[in-house]
């Protein structure tokens, strides 16, 4: 606790005044002057209260000992265990600039147009549960200084020959990049931290534990070198974009040699400093069964990034309400032949099956950590051991029936080839979807693909028999549309799984990699 010099009560950081404030006597103090004696002695560490969730193992630290009964990571309503710890002191911190009321207003504006989300996500009681958390980041400073030599070329025609002259283009580069920041916690997903960016590092100040009073902070578990390659790439691309704007370099076509240039060495890119920092985030979680959705607000700029699951029942009701006037409007504008209607339904069946496959791949990438730099690099050796070599012959095998089908479709005036082709496409997509489902944990297998294939087969049979009555074509179209609706339900379920995240299970380890 940071005791008030006037009355001895606990002082907390006030966002509006950017000072420590006592709620009892109203006294205000500069956060930099509120160092504890223990913190002043050991400059590289500071004392904090560590709260641990007994369910997921997530850890947060704070500058005071206020009890909490809600875990921001897994959404569990538990009494978190607390203990005093000494944490490695970060170098810098960006204090909260946006108050909780600013955060709630920004989130409410975003949710105003999220018509299909569950009502709980818009309820005042839920929105009031936002918690201020400082997330750990690594911020890099990179320099590019010294002479450079790039390869250029210039081609021209003389008579029947084309001549190409090659040049060594020399110059001096003097670039300084500061503030390339990447989150230092595996608990904080990269897609969230990247979407919340940017943070303006000009407003960061030297860290003092007083800023944590009244807030929480996540504990870093990512080594400082984890994102160094990303920072190098960003600095190289930025400098390369500036070099390409130079008229003389553009004249000699340096772009054609880009792939042969090791930019890090050619531009003398070096990391001169890597500082640990804490950046402000308003954090909120919503739990449903074994999934959790996050809502985050940049505590400096007010930018909102939120997972938006769909209320399937609400979506279906609103979709049907919209479909009725659209159906009436289309009937007023014109009519469609039954055979052509059946073909359109077949194409819709293929489209929905393909969308379902795309959703499964996105879910797999998120749950396997393939989109998160820290998680991906930690598992790169394991993934490399399981990787199988590509088989070009398989693609050749696919090309033969595809070419045959296209040839028949163009040369034969027979409507049966459309449902046959769509049935084959649905079968292939269903096989790929089944393989994706097997890689996901606790994913219930869906049989909408089989229904789509069966409906396409029925449509192919109808087109082959060519019945006189149009009712058969309408029946085939209804069967396919029923399978499409089944597919849409699976797409919505898979979207909700992608929009929400697995309950986190942390294994926090101490050591030198902590910020």
- List the pLDDT tens digit at each of the 515 positions of the chain: 677 878 878 888 889 888 888 888 888 888 877 765 555 444 678 888 888 888 888 888 887 766 566 788 888 777 677 777 888 889 899 999 999 999 999 999 988 888 888 888 888 888 888 999 999 999 999 999 988 887 788 888 888 898 888 888 888 899 999 888 998 888 888 888 889 989 998 899 999 888 888 888 888 888 888 888 889 989 988 988 888 788 777 777 776 555 546 788 888 899 999 999 999 999 998 888 888 999 999 999 999 999 999 888 888 888 888 888 877 787 777 677 888 788 888 888 888 888 888 888 888 777 776 655 655 555 554 444 444 444 455 445 555 555 555 545 555 555 667 777 778 888 888 888 888 888 777 777 777 778 888 888 888 888 888 888 888 888 988 888 888 888 888 888 888 888 888 888 775 544 344 44
Residue 200: HSE in the Cβ half-sphere, 13 Å Cα cutoff:
9
Task: Check if the beta carbon of residue 60 is closer than 8 Å to that of residue 88.
Answer: no
Q: Is 506 helix (H, G, I), strand (E, B) or coil?
A: coil
**Helices and strands (H and E) in the chain: how many:** 15, 15
CB atoms within 10 A of CB 56: 19
Rg (CA), the chain: 30
Residue 94 is predicted with a pLDDT of 94
Task: Check if the beta carbon of residue 132 is closer than 8 Å to that of residue 13.
Answer: no
Residue 95 is predicted with a pLDDT of 94
Residue 84, H or E segment? strand 81-88
- DSSP β-ladder status, 131-158 and 216-218: parallel
In angstroms, the CA 133 to CA 60 distance is 8
- Residue 286: φ, ψ to 5°: -130, 120
Residue 24 is predicted with a pLDDT of 83
Q: What pTM was computed for the model?
A: 0.77
Task: Check if the beta carbon of residue 343 is closer than 8 Å to that of residue 418.
Answer: yes
Check residue 10 and report its DSSP letter. Answer: B
Q: What is the domain partition of the chain in residue ranges?
A: 127-202+219-309, 312-499
In angstroms, the CA 68 to CA 168 distance is 64
In angstroms, the CA 486 to CA 446 distance is 10
Q: Is 437 helix (H, G, I), strand (E, B) or coil?
A: helix
- Residue 452: φ, ψ to 5°: -65, -40
Residue 32 is predicted with a pLDDT of 76
- Residue 118: φ, ψ to 5°: -60, 145
E strand map for 100-158 = 131-158
Q: How far is CA 340 from CA 335, 344, 495, in A?
A: 11, 6, 31
Task: Check if the beta carbon of residue 288 is closer than 8 Å to that of residue 493.
Answer: no
Q: Tokens 């870093």 identify what position? A: 220
Q: Tokens 């955060």 identify what position? A: 103
In angstroms, the CA 267 to CA 289 distance is 52
In angstroms, the CA 335 to CA 38 distance is 82
Residue 400 is predicted with a pLDDT of 52
In angstroms, the CA 319 to CA 131 distance is 35
């Amino acid at each position: 606790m940071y005791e008030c010099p006037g009355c001895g009560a606990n002082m907390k950081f006030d966002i509006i005044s950017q000072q420590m404030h006592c709620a009892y006597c109203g006294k205000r103090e500069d956060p930099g002057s509120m160092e504890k004696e223990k913190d002043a002695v050991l400059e590289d560490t500071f004392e904090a209260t560590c709260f641990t969730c007994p369910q997921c193992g997530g850890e947060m630290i704070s500058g005071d000992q206020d009890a909490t009964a809600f875990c921001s990571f897994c959404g569990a309503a538990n009494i978190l265990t607390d203990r005093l710890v000494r944490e490695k002191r970060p170098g810098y911190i960006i204090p909260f600039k946006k108050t909780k009321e600013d955060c709630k207003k920004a989130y409410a504006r975003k949710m105003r147009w999220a018509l299909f989300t569950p009502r709980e996500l818009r309820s005042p009681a839920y929105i009031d549960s936002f918690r201020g958390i400082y997330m750990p980041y690594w911020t890099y400073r990179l320099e590019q200084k010294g002479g450079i030599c790039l390869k250029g070329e210039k081609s021209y025609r003389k008579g029947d020959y084309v001549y190409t002259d090659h040049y060594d283009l020399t110059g001096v580069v003097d670039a300084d990049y500061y503030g390339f920041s990447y989150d230092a916690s595996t608990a904080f997903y990269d897609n969230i931290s990247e979407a919340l960016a940017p943070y303006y590092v000009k407003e960061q100040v030297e860290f003092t534990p007083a800023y944590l009073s009244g807030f929480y902070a996540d504990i870093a578990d990512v080594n400082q070198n984890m994102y160094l390659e990303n920072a190098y790439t960003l600095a190289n691309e930025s400098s390369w974009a500036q070099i390409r704007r130079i008229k003389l370099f553009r004249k000699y076509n340096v772009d054609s040699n880009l792939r042969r240039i090791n930019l890090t060495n050619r531009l003398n890119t070096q990391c001169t400093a890597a500082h640990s920092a804490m950046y402000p985030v308003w954090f909120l979680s919503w739990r449903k069964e074994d999934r959790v959705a996050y809502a985050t607000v940049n505590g400096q700029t007010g930018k909102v990034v939120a997972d938006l699951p769909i209320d399937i029942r609400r979506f279906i009701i609103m979709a049907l309400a919209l479909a009725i006037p659209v159906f009436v409007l289309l009937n007023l504008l014109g009519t469609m032949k039954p055979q052509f209607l059946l073909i359109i339904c077949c194409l819709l069946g293929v489209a929905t099956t393909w969308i379902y496959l795309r959703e499964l791949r996105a879910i797999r990438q998120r749950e396997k950590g393939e989109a998160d730099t820290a998680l991906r690099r930690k598992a790169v050796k394991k993934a490399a051991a399981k990787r199988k070599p590509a088989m070009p012959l398989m693609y050749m095998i696919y090309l033969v029936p595809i070419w045959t089908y296209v040839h028949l479709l163009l040369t034969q005036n027979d409507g049966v080839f459309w449902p046959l082709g769509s049935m084959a496409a649905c079968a292939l997509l269903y096989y790929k979807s089944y393989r994706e489902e097997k890689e996901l944990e606790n994913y219930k297998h869906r049989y909408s693909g089989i229904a789509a294939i069966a409906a396409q087969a029925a449509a192919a049979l109808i087109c082959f028999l060519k019945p006189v009555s149009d009712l058969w074509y309408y029946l085939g179209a209804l069967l396919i549309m029923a399978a499409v609706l089944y597919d849409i339900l699976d797409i919505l379920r898979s979207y909700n799984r992608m929009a929400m995240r697995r309950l986190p299970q942390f294994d926090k380890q101490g050591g030198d990699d902590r910020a």
